[in-house]
Amino acid sequence: MKPPPFTYHAPRDLATALRTLQEVGAGGAGGKVLAGGQSLIPMLNMRLVAPAHLVDINRVAGLGGIGREPGGVRVGALARHAEAERSGAHPLLTRALKLVAHPVIRNRGTVVGSLVHADPAAELPAVLAVLGGSVRVARWQDGAAVERDIPAAAFFTGPMESAVLPGELAVSAWFPSLAPGAGCAFVEVSRRHGDYALAGVCAVVGPAGAARVACVGVGPVPVVVDVSAHAPDWAAAARAVREETEPDDDIHATAAYRRHLVGVLAERALREAAQEAENRGA
């Protein structure tokens, strides 16, 4: 199928991009940002979305890059999955990215685009959520760019819904570093390699037993559970995680299967992360 008609904008600087988004963002079908296009183009072609304007940010200067900063890693809006994976800038991000789709998709898809897209089965929202990261968004207001940081806990508002408002552009994402001596893991089950997961769990375990997981595919947004109280009884922690999830039935799996699966994966992820933390301390 072909996409519905839209007006295409290709700004070359941030101010023009934000001004354009402000002009087309509010009212009617509004505008959409085009980043890697790996989710948006199929949705346009299937006519699941019909924006009147597409604002292609691929030529906007200054939106790329992956920067290690004190306390974490900042990923620019145009940094592709493959670039972030190759950079090895954050161990949990690197592990998660290996599970995202196929190399061809990772060459174009962006980390920030994946966060804004907010698919409940996607890996990167869970990574941002378990680390307590944030997304920086910008809009054009009173003749200048205005930014705000949205913490992960407030960013994912529903399936395929984020707190980014019409007229706003997500300019970067912030992934806090692991605490010294902490370990991490990301495990998932999908029907075929590269498919979206039926369920997945990422875990971070600190040297003093602080332990958090974020679950994928078992709720409308990433399900974050602090299981520090159960450490190091990871079987009990996994039971607690299972209790927190409310998956739905769909054509791929029943809710009961997904709930069982998320418990199995939580225990596996916590054991792997704890082992890594132990090895670091050794």
Ligand X SMILES: Cc1cc2nc3c(=O)[nH]c(=O)nc-3n(C[C@H](O)[C@H](O)[C@H](O)COP(=O)(O)OP(=O)(O)OC[C@H]3O[C@@H](n4cnc5c(N)ncnc54)[C@H](O)[C@@H]3O)c2cc1C
- With 0-12 / 13-18 / 19 or more C-beta atoms within 10 angstroms meaning exposed / middle / buried, residue 16 is middle
The 10 Å CB-count burial string (b at 16+, else e) for 65-84 is: ebeeeeebbbbbbbbbbbbb
Question: Is 110 among the residues that bind ligand X (CB under 6 A)?
Answer: yes
Given 18, 128, 150, 164, the residue binding ligand X (CB under 6 A): 164
Q: Kindly state whether residue 20 participates in binding ligand X, applying the rule CB under 6 A.
A: no
Decide: is 32 part of the binding site for ligand X (CB under 6 A): yes
Q: Nearer Cβ to ligand X, position 160 or 210?
A: 160
Segment lying near ligand X (by CB under 6 A), choices 121-129, 177-185, 205-213, 231-239: 121-129
Note whether 135 binds ligand X by CB under 6 A.
no
- Select from 44, 66, 75, 101 the one that contacts ligand X (CB under 6 A): 101
Does 18 contact ligand X by CB under 6 A? no
Tell me the three state secondary structure of residue 49: coil
Q: Can you tell me the distance from the alpha carbon of 135 to that of 163, in angstroms, rounded to the nearest whole number?
A: 10
Q: Where are the beta strands (DSSP E) in the chain?
A: 7-9, 31-34, 53-56, 66-69, 72-76, 134-141, 144-151, 156-158, 161-162, 169-176, 183-189, 199-205, 211-216, 223-226
User: Is 38 or 134 the residue whose CB approaches ligand X more closely?
Assistant: 38
What x/- string results for residues 38 through 57 when contact with ligand X is judged by CB under 6 A? xxx-x---------------
Between 114 and 245, CB nearer to ligand X: 114
- At residue 152, what are phi and psi to the nearest 5 degrees? -55, -40
Q: Report the interface residues with ligand X, using CB under 6 A.
A: 32-40, 42, 77, 100-101, 105, 109-110, 112-114, 116-117, 122-124, 164, 169-170, 196
